[in-house]
Structure 1
């Protein structure tokens, strides 16, 4: 797994398009939210800013990049060649996805730390951490499912749009309007419940136990995405 991960980490910084979508674009958008946090607080809260930052990084930096990576490695038959080695299927996938996952987690942690330093610390850091981890797992699972429907790296720019833009849009909607209205709908949409937990974790005012239960819809999306990935994911190029 580690040799595959090291190779992928090197390739990540050699591909200008992937580097743009996985690092530069998410960081630029996040820096804007941190720099102008006083402006964005007028329409939401610090929790809203944290939620949008998390989904910008995990949607653009993690989800889109991993789908593009898997589609590329499948198209050039790298995955097929790796499967002829002693490495297991799980090790191959972990090696391919570890670099972009680690990079996304590092970005989220760094940017949210800066946000806390220039504003105020979250009401519950453990709850915030649990939400970030569960969201990363959800985006990884959705990425595997989407990769099964993606024919090429170019095709990934189309197949990833519904989830990437959708989750950012849902986070923005829930972060600004809250969940007092259309509560169940907002919580069941991908990213909606996680956004509410981020709001509670950063802004406070809600018991931690009540917030933890809101992670169940996120885990539900993980299970659904894994089922879809098992059905649609292909190791060889799609025809």
Structure 2
């Protein structure tokens, strides 16, 4: 009887330890899930990267960015619902530019301010390498990024997001390939800077209500930032 009692106590102890271990494991898993929720991956960057040429992929690897999402959400909220309908044909992917009209000016200004973009924004994705390559590296601020961005819009109910991303990537691929990988100091040509690039993608949608019709517009913002090392 004593042996049976001792065996029972030992079994109970093992079960208790197992339960505690399980609880600890679950706590770790939940913590990991919480971390994942803070930085969700939409997969849009993967679609974009896959459509770039091999050389463009060597220059820049794009990632999804929740921080950029937050900036874009605020910016597209500044667009006037009463004027947006007449600005573009949203049945196809459209590049947003200042010349389009006043509807997008508040959005563009917000993006420019928050992202601290180089002069000339909004840029044409097909030629943005010219803008970036023309900017001289500042010797004392090698870690301070120089950032450019291209903005596109379309009716997300009529244009598939992944198809749009592929089209945008194809449009930008040549200019991304043309980004310089080094730059000489303009005062000392013996000093050469190695250039490094990072890219971010944000895809956000908003429904605009007005007296004519409600329209849901999907915006794609693509940013490229450059830093340098000696």
Please give the range of the TM-score, normalised by the shorter of the 2 chains.
under 0.3
Q: Identify which of structures 1 and 2 has the higher relative contact order when contacts are C-alpha pairs closer than 8 Å and 6+ apart.
A: 1
Q: Which has the higher helix share?
A: 1
Q: Which has the higher strand share?
A: 2
Task: Give the alignment's TM-score, normalised by structure 1.
Answer: 0.27
Task: Give the alignment's TM-score, normalised by structure 2.
Answer: 0.28
Which structure has the larger Rg over C-alpha atoms?
Answer: 2
